[in-house]
Amino acid sequence: MLKKSFLIALTILGLVIVSCSSHEKNPEGETFGSGVTLASAVAVSDVFTQVDELNGKVIRVKGTIEDLCKHKGCWMQVKEGDQILTVRFKDEAFTLPASAIGRSVDFEGLLIAEKISNPLGTHAACAEAGNHEGGGACESERAEESIKKASDMRYTMISTGLVLI
């Protein structure tokens, strides 16, 4: 009798664990691309604190959409605090509607952290600093005065799918 009760309890516990993990695996919401398939997600802040371990790996991330491409919806920015993670959609296989801004998102893809020498691009950098005179690209010397070159990093994910929650 004790053995039968133990087996029933173990079976129920197994079902509870499976149902909990499958809920995490497939969040409810609008699916774009291939959705999410990895078992667990990390917060946006964890991406930045664990970047050395996560760089170059396919990961699942949860966050809130701060901004997205206003022309086609082909990229989004997920922000937490001062940290911004730019997410591009692999092969532009899907796009997001403008109404996605401010919504929670659960997405997965390849994380790429890379050091860059000119984070804004020459033209954008001097425009950002107020040095743009219009009518063409700014001179690179003025642009370089406007940015911090040595320590700038770009954090990008190439997403294969997501779920808007």
pLDDT digits (tens, 9 = 90+) for 63-103: 999 999 988 889 999 988 778 899 999 999 999 999 999 99
Which CATH architecture is the domain 35-118+152-164 placed in? Beta Barrel (2.40)
Q: What is the pLDDT of residue 40?
A: 94
Element (H, E) at 128: helix 122-128
| Contact of 111 with 56, CB cutoff 8 Å | yes
**Would you say the pTM of this structure is higher than 0.85?**
no
Element (H, E) at 10: helix 2-25
